[in-house]
Amino acid sequence: MVLFGTLMILNVRNIRNRVVPQFINVRNERLRANNRQMIIMLSFQVLTTTVFSTPFAVTNLYATIVITILKYKLSASGNAIYNIISNLSRLLYYTNPIIGFYIYTLTGPKFRKEMKRCVRYGLKFALIITGLKQCLSLRIQQELFDENQLGTIDDSLELRRRGNTIHPIQRQRTMT
């Protein structure tokens, strides 16, 4: 995982260096920020995979060496302890593929923004299909179903955090 992650980062940097001219500083800063975000997400993924896979590997190694090769007989309490540890390590190991979603949600702002957009779209679709749209208050309907406002809510909040005070309506006018 470390090897392929490192190769992926190097490949992305090489592709971007070929495509992007070196004199555009703003774009280069954005690409560096994307690279940093990708490195953080990848390092968290490698760390959690290592932490969740190590107990399973250790218990299997113990079972292979001590029980199978050396033919050591465990007592009843030793066998019970081994079974508990083996099952807990297996549980950790099987949760490993699921953890990626939570890692990306916690460490990636772009992933969070895209996930919010997808959840909002799915909720809107489900409410229209089931006919529950009429059960919502007018304010919620306007926030959820107004297409122009959908993109500007998150953008205006992000601009305010950065210190830019452009009003969302002014931003729409400048964009059109």
Q: Assign 3-state DSSP to the chain and report helix, strand, coil percentages, each to 5.
A: 85, 0, 15
User: What pLDDT is attached to residue 86?
Assistant: 94
Helix or strand holding residue 41 (H, E)? helix 25-62
Read out DSSP for 98-122? HHHHHHHHHH-HHHHHHHHHHHHHH
* pLDDT (mean) for 70-99: 91
Burial of 154 from C-beta contacts in 10 A (0-12 / 13-18 / 19+): middle
Query: pLDDT by residue (tens digit) across 1-17?
Result: 778 878 887 887 777 66
**Residue holding tokens 């959908």?**
150
Query: pLDDT by residue (tens digit) across 135-169?
Result: 888 888 888 777 554 444 444 444 444 444 454 55
For the cut 60, the answer to whether the pLDDT of residue 40 exceeds it is yes
pLDDT band at 106; cut points 50, 70, 90: confident
User: What pLDDT is attached to residue 59?
Assistant: 94
